[in-house]
Amino acid sequence: MARIEVKSEITGTVWQLKAKPGDKVEGGDILIVIESMKMEIPVITEDGGTVKEILVKEKDPVAEGQVVAIIEE
């Protein structure tokens, strides 16, 4: 089973979690919304599968390129 790391494209803080472990997701789905520079920037999975882990919680700071979720295909 392929383990896919989903990264934040931008530095900011976690604003909303849109998915939780166990959720089935498809490519293009929003997992997390990051607030950055007054914008809501979605973290989108490119691949479908099952959410294995969400590695951040609301209000957590995240850095560009940080792995924020794990999907299993």
Residues lying near another protein in the complex (CB under 8 A) are found at 9-10, 36-42
Residue 67 Cβ vs another protein, minimum distance, rounded to whole Å: 16
Return the number of the residue (7 or 52) whose C-beta is nearest another protein: 7
Residue 59, by phi and psi: left (phi above 0), alpha (psi -120 to 50) or beta? left
Residue 56 Cβ vs another protein, minimum distance, rounded to whole Å: 18
Residue 41, both tokens: 């920037």
Check if the beta carbon of residue 70 is closer than 8 Å to that of residue 53: yes
Return the number of the residue (5 or 40) whose C-beta is nearest another protein: 40
